[in-house]
Amino acid sequence: MDPVWTARLVSSRSHIHPGGFHVTELFFEVPLNYARPGDGTIRLFARSISRPEKTIPGLSKPADEPIKPYLVYLEGGPGFGGPEPRSHPVSNRALDAGYTVLYVDYRGTGMSNPIHTDLVLKQGDVNQQVEYLKLFRANSIVRDLEAIRLCLTESWKPEYQTWSIFGQSFGGFVCLSYLSKYPQGLREVFMTGGLAPVERQPLEVYSALYRKVIQRNEAYYSKYPEDEANVARIASYLTTNEADILLPGGGTFTVHRLLGLGMAFGGHGGLDTVHNLVVKLISDLDQFNYFTTPTLMALEREVPFDSNPVYAILHESIYCSRGVASNWAALNAARKFENFFFWTQSDHSQLSLPVDGMVRFYFSGEMVFPQFFDTYPTLRPLKPAAEALARYSQWEEDLYDEEQLRRNEVPVYAVSYIDDMYVDIGAARETAALVKGIKVHETNQLHHNAIRAKGDEVLGMLFKLRDDTLD
């Protein structure tokens, strides 16, 4: 383990928002590569939100106002920065419980040295691009978090210097890496839909996830049976149109892009979101026999690879340990389910459909295919780097320390979703069995995005795990 660094606070600006919230915008400086700190630094961004003790107007605050320890919210992804604090369900509940909440943009996201096409290309050749991109995985993220913790709490009393972390989805993966590498910095850990498949290889991960994706497709077509013909008609139009269908942002509308919309199927309201877009597409064909700009703009907004390229280019690497290459695991796993996902095995230009059009098209889930790097304009120049990353196996360290997790002493509380389309429940149970002392609430009444869709319910489950007892 390389030395623990303390981040340098570059700037701190606080503002009072309606409702009495104090929001502080923080920029830090940390090494780009902790193993080689001389290679330069990057900036990290975070926002804290607090609710100071009320005082009578005209009176100053007491000098000994109590410290409110940090709860750090870790967003899903990979590739997404922290949410806006005032609108997130965690904020009010955590503030009421006595925390200051910190929302961090992971390195490479948000305002923390955001990865974008030009930045990657300027690193040099493909090998140099890979060397750069591999510095943005969870092992580096947890070093950033620990460096920020040391910076923010170094003047506090020791009992206040540890902090709590809350990981949603990929944020839970980060929690497990943090527990593996810097447990001494943690007071407690909360996770929702984030029990990572610690003991599984990438191909195993996707093979399990496809089974749930198939179930969600069945639910979709059961709810909207007319869309079986509608989706087939759209796919036929895309494959028989003489010219590429260009999107307003510069991408192309292909069958792969259409069926990639199934990424939404695993969340509350996801089936309806996809159906509403299918209705728009069919309405355009009925009225104009082409797709209108507003409809194509709505399509572009649904899958955020252009605005969040890390989500695509580093996605499969979150399942890779030392000596393991992802090798386009989602694409290879789809071959086991070729009757459902036959379209994944061809490029758009080579895709042939049955003459009578009688085929049910199954949408994919949270899978990244090499064909996506042909249709999203931000991803096109990064395809060589993506191909090289898919072959890459020389990771310097594992993301998790299973022995450390087995001897864990930090309290861990997790809500796990039985019907989760993004984190297989079987793998989640294996990981829960690995982490010493974890308390888990399993439910089949909530989907993966429940922290947003039904936040009060989820947070009630988590805090009950912490505060209640079992005789």
The residues annotated with a catalytic role in the active site are 169, 420, 448
Contact between 249 and 294 (Cβ < 8 Å)? no
Distance (Å, whole) CA 346 – CA 17: 52
Cβ pair 105, 111 in contact under 8 A: yes
Instruction: Check: CB of residue 167 under 8 Å from CB of residue 173.
Output: yes
| Burial of 209 per CB tally in 10 Å (0-12, 13-18, 19+) | buried
Report CA 211 to chain centroid distance, whole Å: 21
Token pair of 318, please? 């979150």
Q: Which residues of 367-383 are buried (b: 16+ CB within 10 A; e: fewer)?
A: bbbbbbbbbbebbeebb
Q: Are 79 and 314 in contact (CB under 8 A)?
A: yes
Using DSSP, state whether 441 is helix, strand or coil: strand
Residue 409 contacts residue 185 (beta carbons within 8 Å): no
Among 385, 274, 275, 369, CA closest to 328 = 369
Query: At 207, which helix (H) or strand (E)?
Result: helix 202-223
Beta bridge partners of 26: 12, 46
Q: Tell me the C-alpha distance between 183 and 43, whole Å.
A: 24
Length of the chain: 471
Helix (H/G/I), strand (E/B), else coil: 434: helix
Give the separation between CA 163 and CA 153, rounded to whole angstroms.
9
d(CA 384, CA 394): 18
Residues paired with residue 46 on neighbouring β-strands, in sequence order: 26, 104
Asked whether 361 and 343 are in contact (CB, 8 A), the reply is yes
Residue of 105, 376, 324, 348 lying closest to 240 (CA atoms): 348
Q: Are 146 and 4 in contact (CB under 8 A)?
A: yes
